[in-house]
Amino acid sequence: MRLNPTMLLAAIVLFVVEVIIATKLNGYHFIRAYFGDFLVVMLVYCVVKAFWNVEPKRLAIAVFIFACAIELAQLFRLADLLHLTGWVRVVLGTSFSFHDILMYAAGCMAIWWLDSRWYKEQTKAVNHGTA
């Protein structure tokens, strides 16, 4: 495990943006309903990548599967079944949407594309002894 400061900073920025979306942008349906889902998978990806050097494609797939599992929990109303309240209920969510899955896929593809470019550069630099 090795700290990646760039990914940690990206995770912090994404977290702040997600909090702003959740607390201040109620009147902006597209941002709240779709863009937040696009960004949240990027946030999860960056948190993992901040501490573990995982190959981008594998991590993007794992994050997508995790996000879909959360969405399925919403479909089966897991928060209600477990009588969850507070921030745990907010994080898990309560309403299933197929559109969320599409946004998770788009977010995972975007972060995979961005990180795979950076990952290739880092791997090339290490292999050539310049990093």
d(CA 34, CA 80): 23
- Checking if the pLDDT of 130 tops 90, the result is no
Model pTM score: 0.86
- Checking if the pLDDT of 52 tops 70, the result is yes
| Range 36-55 average pLDDT | 97
| Range 60-89 average pLDDT | 93
| Range 125-131 average pLDDT | 64
| pLDDT, position 103 | 98
Number of domains in the chain: 1
Work out the pLDDT band at 16, boundaries 50, 70, 90. very high
| Range 43-54 average pLDDT | 97
For 34, the domain range is 5-127
Give the angle subtended at the CA of 50 by the CAs of 117 and 116, to the nearest 5°: 10
d(CA 91, CA 82): 14
